[in-house]
Homo-oligomer: A and B are copies of this chain.
Amino acid sequence: MSSAETLGRDREGRAAALLAEPVADKGIPASTVARLPVYLRVLHQLAGSGQDTVSSGALAEAAGVSPSQLRKDLSYLGSYGTRGVGYDVAHLSFQLGREVGSTQEWPVVIVGIGNLGTALANYSGFYSRGFRVVGLVDPSPDLVGRRIHGLAITDLAELEDVVGRTGAVIAVIATPAEAAQGVADRLVQLGVTSILNFAATLLAVPPGVTVRKVDLGQELQILAYHEHRKAGELSKTGHATVRERGMID
């Protein structure tokens, strides 16, 4: 998988009372958070196919997790199921969406409009999940002014302007590795607090800013490791052995 990092790991004493939200809103494990979008996607599919109720077993199967893990995950959010019956698809979908923040629209700025940035700008999966690409930024004079889906590419020099005007707090960095840290610094300065980083470099950001990294080369290398292992086992035992289940997300 990809990885999440949030630099700055000291913790507040969690003094504030948590009466504000209908459902307790604290300490959901990171591993659970990473699975919520999966559940949400499956629920949308189910809703689309006319199912209006689903059991933990069926939902878990479709999401690729164990039923007990699904129930444990959902239990962090509240008790949205009905014993003996299951979950109401529409209701659970709404509750999950509310938790993940997908009931609102999030403006997103993409910095670095190379092959990958262009692909991301065209990616329909963002739109359907509530993200609106409101800024495309690149330093290349060849690209500035071109349009993707009607949105013009802006010069990197005007990054301040773009972020300020759109109010984006989520940004995607798809620049070469060398440029990424500089871009991140400017984004953070402008109030961006969540960054999805495709550059093959570690970003240093202040506490309170969340970075998720997707390193495509790294993903393949992890697969190569498994291949390598399979080949080794094969040559020793004469038949492939089964690897244990992966991790993360």
Q: Which of A7, A38, A62, A247 has the most CB of B within 10 A?
A: A247
A108 on the B face (CB < 8 A): yes
C-beta contact mask, A208-221 vs B, less than 8 Å → 1, else 0? 10101111111111
From residue 1 to 49 of chain A, which have CB atoms closer than 8 A to chain B?
A: 1-12, 16, 18, 20-21, 25, 29-31, 33-34, 36-38, 40-41
Contact A3 B214 (CB under 8 A): no
Copies in the complex: 2
Contact B217 A125 (CB under 8 A): yes
Contact B221 A102 (CB under 8 A): yes
A85 on the B face (CB < 8 A): no
Residues from chain B with a CB closer than 8 A to the CB of A227 are: 101, 106, 169-170, 193-194, 210
A128 on the B face (CB < 8 A): yes
C-beta contact mask, A222-249 vs B, less than 8 Å → 1, else 0? 1111111110110111001111111111
- Considering only CB atoms and an 8 Å cut-off, how many residues of chain A contact the other chain? 96
Q: List 28 A-B contacts (CB under 8 A).
A: A1-B3, A1-B4, A1-B249, A5-B245, A11-B242, A12-B241, A16-B237, A20-B236, A25-B229, A30-B248, A34-B248, A36-B225, A37-B218, A38-B218, A41-B218, A101-B225, A115-B123, A120-B216, A126-B217, A126-B220, A130-B224, A131-B217, A193-B240, A207-B242, A210-B246, A212-B222, A214-B216, A247-B248
